[in-house]
């Protein structure tokens, strides 16, 4: 048998990916081992992408209908299409669910941007446990429900939750409150609590700025959770949501 | 006769009863099919969600115009990714010129207590390598992981096929598990 010139990584990868016209059997063990190593790198990259890099995407229903509407305005030769499109877009601005305050595991930024009270970094670390149990007043809760267009909130459906937790210097302010649905997401308040504890610990250890922690909570607490716990989905221990202890 | 008719129809057709054109139908289907992959890719270029969604709208409206003019329809996925890639880079330039990396690549050391130390370390090692790759190499990997074939990646990033395969091979060998 003639001396075999080993394949390059590039050639081996092309075999693996079914690119090019090479479909020959590779007899050389050394080349096959190299192939397996490349395949292993592929696997670790795919896992990394799934576990860390990919974020949870919002539903595509709103964007899809916006696109459909915009396409329907463009008929060849229809001269008034631009005017009609503007009207449509203005209309959609008010109708498109993404644009309206919707109670979800993430608050609507326009209604609930988050609000803080003046507090020093080291004060956060000596806050008593009572900060933890702070509840918004009935009056404020009513206002919050109104803003989110919820007429008759059923008692077990929502929790009016602080966006920036009091333990992180969040204010008793309607702008810092939103109705968090109990049922419809794995991103529940228990999971959020775990993040708050972690961020508070980081702030107190001097690993993180208080303002940065507040900002991350307000901007997108789910993304912050995914980033700090390095996971796409809530850790099981955090996600086990016991609303009321069953024996009570 | 039919030419005149097709000129007239759009003027006469009442808007309210207009059914979506076949092209619009097709684009809607493609939107459904590709949205997740394109969105993830644009986000990986470091754009915020709202901007990424905006860009997606632009991409598919352009696709609609492209197809309405009976332009070639081979390699549509490559076309969609290419337009998305270009628009995203343009938008990113106007947003934050310096910072090209998505947040997920700039994370603090892992804190997931349930994870095994070895697995966490391996993941951190990988993240570091991915973050240190030239952007073009990282884009190649991400596009390939979204299922694109080499010619589609080549179309997206405006590279030759040879460059795509060489880049992928190089990037993968960098990611390789360290020999013990
Ligand atoms: Zn060989």
Contacts of A109 (CB under 8 A, 6+ apart): none
Structure-block tokens of residue A214:
């507040």
A123: exposed, middle or buried (Cβ count in 10 Å: 0-12, 13-18, 19+): exposed
Instruction: Please give the helix or strand (H or E) that residue B40 lies within, else none.
Output: helix B22-44
Within-domain flag for B83? yes
The pLDDT assigned to A148 comes to 79
Which spans in B45-160 are helix H? 49-68, 76-95, 117-132, 135-145, 150-157
How large is the average pLDDT for residues A122-137?
A: 74
Give me the pLDDT at residue A176, please: 85
Residue-range domain boundaries for chain A: 9-52, 61-240
Whether A93 has its CB under 8 Å from any CB of chain B: the answer is no
Q: Which residue has the higher pLDDT, A176 or A120?
A: A176
Q: Measured between beta carbons, which residues in chain A are less than 8 angstroms from residue B13?
A: 75
CB B165 within 8 A of CB B150: yes
- Can you give the pLDDT at residue B36? 95
Residue B13 lies in a domain: no
Residue B149: inside a domain: yes
Going by C-alpha positions, the residue among B66, B43, B55, B103 that lies closest to residue A226 is: B103
Q: Are residues B123 and B161 in the same domain?
A: yes
Q: Is the pLDDT of residue A61 over 70?
A: yes
Last residue of a domain, one of B68, B102, B136: B102
pLDDT of residue A236: 74
Given CB atoms, is B48 within the 8 Å cutoff of chain A?
A: no
Phi, psi of A7 (to 5 degrees): -70, 155
Q: Does A37 touch chain B (CB under 8 A)?
A: yes
Of the candidates B102, B129, B160, which is a domain's last residue?
B102
**Residue B7 has what pLDDT?**
43
Whether the predicted pLDDT of A214 surpasses 70: yes
B169 touches A: beta carbon within 8 Å: yes
- Return the CATH number at B78: 1.10.1740
Q: Mean per-residue pLDDT for A8-21?
A: 90
ipTM above 0.85, yes or no: no
- Give the pLDDT score at B8: 41
List b or e across A127-145, with b for residues whose CB sees 16 or more CB atoms inside 10 angstroms. eeeeeeeeebeeebbeebb
Please say if the pLDDT value at position A3 is more than 50. Answer: yes
CATH number of the domain to which B173 belongs: 1.10.10.10
Average pLDDT, rounded, for chain A: 78
Shared domain for B133 and B166, answered yes or no, is: yes
Query: In chain A, what percentage of residues exceed pLDDT 70?
Result: 78
pLDDT at A200: 86
Please judge whether B105 and A74 are an interchain contact, meaning their C-beta atoms are less than 8 angstroms apart: no
**pLDDT for A198 beyond 70:** yes
Residue B61 has a pLDDT of 95
Domain residue limits at B49 = 22-102
CA of A17 to the centre of ligand 1 (A): 18
User: How many CA atoms lie less than 13 Å away from A42 in the CB half-sphere?
Assistant: 19
Instruction: Compute the nearest-CA separation of B110 from chain A (Å).
Output: 6
Position with higher pLDDT, A123 vs B54: B54
- What was the pLDDT predicted at A86? 65
Residues B53 and B117 in one domain: no
Residue A54 main-chain phi, psi, to 5 deg: -80, 130
SS3 B112: coil
Whether B27 and B96 share a structural domain: yes
Measured between CB atoms, which of A40, A53, A76 is closest to B177?
A40
Gyration radius (Cα) of chain B, Å:
21
Position A184 confidence tier, pLDDT thresholds 50, 70, 90: low
Same domain for B167 and B124 = yes
Residue B107 inside a domain? The answer is: no
CA dihedral B168, B170, B174, B175 (to 10 degrees): 20
Question: What span, in angstroms and rounded, lies between the C-alpha atoms of B101 and B57?
Answer: 23
pLDDT tens for chain B, 180 residues: list them. Answer: 444 444 444 443 444 446 778 999 999 999 999 999 999 999 999 888 889 999 999 999 999 999 998 888 888 999 999 999 999 999 998 876 555 556 666 554 444 566 678 888 888 889 999 999 999 999 999 999 999 999 999 999 999 999 999 999 999 999 986 654
**Environment class of A5 (CB within 10 Å of its CB; exposed 0-12, middle 13-18, buried 19+):** exposed
C-alpha distances in angstroms, A183 versus A97, A155, A159, A180, B75? 19, 12, 10, 9, 43
Out of B61, B68, B111, closest to residue A70 by CB: B61
Q: Based on the domain organization, do B96 and B129 belong to the same domain?
A: no
The predicted pLDDT at position A178 comes to: 85
B98 and B117 inside one domain: no
Res A124: pLDDT: 77
Q: Read off the pLDDT of residues A65-118 as tens digits, 9 standing for 90 and up.
A: 999 988 888 765 544 555 656 666 665 655 554 444 666 778 877 778 788 777
pLDDT of A64 reads: 92
CA A6 to ligand 1 center in whole angstroms: 4
Domain count, chain B: 2
Query: In this structure, is residue B5 part of a structural domain?
Result: no
pLDDT band at A123 (very low <50, low <70, confident <90, very high): confident
Average pLDDT over residues A125-129: 72
């Amino acid at each position: 048998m003639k001396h075999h010139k080993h394949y390059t990584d590039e050639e081996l990868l092309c075999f693996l990916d079914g690119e090019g016209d090479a479909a020959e059997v590779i007899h050389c063990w050394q080349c096959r081992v190299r192939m397996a190593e490349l395949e292993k790198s592929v696997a670790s990259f795919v896992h990394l992408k799934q576990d860390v890099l990919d974020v949870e995407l919002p539903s595509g229903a709103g964007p899809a209908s916006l696109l459909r509407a915009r396409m329907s305005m463009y008929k060849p030769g229809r001269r008034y299409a631009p005017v009609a499109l503007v009207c449509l877009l203005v209309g959609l601005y008010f109708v498109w669910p993404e644009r309206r305050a919707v109670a979800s595991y993430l608050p609507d930024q326009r209604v609930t941007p988050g609000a803080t009270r003046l507090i020093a970094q080291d004060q956060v670390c000596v806050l008593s446990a009572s900060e933890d149990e702070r509840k918004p007043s009935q009056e404020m809760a009513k206002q919050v429900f109104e803003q989110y267009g919820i007429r008759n909130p059923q008692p077990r459906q929502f929790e009016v939750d602080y966006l920036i937790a009091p333990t992180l210097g969040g204010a008793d302010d309607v702008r810092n409150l939103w109705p968090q649905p109990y049922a419809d997401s794995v991103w529940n308040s228990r999971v959020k609590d775990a993040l708050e504890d972690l961020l508070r610990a980081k702030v107190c250890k001097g690993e993180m700025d208080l303002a940065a922690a507040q900002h991350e909570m307000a901007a997108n607490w789910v993304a912050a959770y995914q980033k700090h716990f390095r996971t796409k989905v809530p850790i099981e221990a955090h996600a086990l949501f016991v609303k009321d202890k069953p024996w009570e | 006769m039919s030419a005149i008719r097709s000129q007239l129809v759009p003027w006469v057709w009442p808007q309210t009863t207009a059914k979506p054109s076949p092209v619009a139908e097709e684009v809607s289907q493609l939107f459904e099919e590709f949205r997740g992959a394109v969105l993830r890719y644009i986000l990986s270029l470091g754009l915020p969600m709202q901007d990424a969604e905006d860009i997606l709208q632009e991409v598919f409206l352009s696709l609609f115009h492209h197809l309405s003019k009976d332009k070639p329809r081979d390699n549509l996925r490559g076309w969609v990714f290419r337009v998305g890639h270009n628009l995203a880079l343009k938008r990113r330039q106007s947003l934050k010129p310096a910072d090209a990396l998505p947040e997920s690549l700039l994370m603090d050391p892992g804190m997931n207590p349930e994870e095994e130390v070895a697995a966490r370390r391996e993941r951190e090692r990988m993240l570091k390598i991915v973050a240190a790759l030239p952007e073009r190499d990282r884009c190649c990997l991400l596009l390939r992981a979204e299922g694109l074939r080499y010619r589609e990646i080549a179309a997206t990033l405006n590279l030759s096929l040879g460059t795509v395969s060489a880049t992928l091979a190089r990037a993968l060998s960098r990611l390789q598990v360290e020999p013990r």
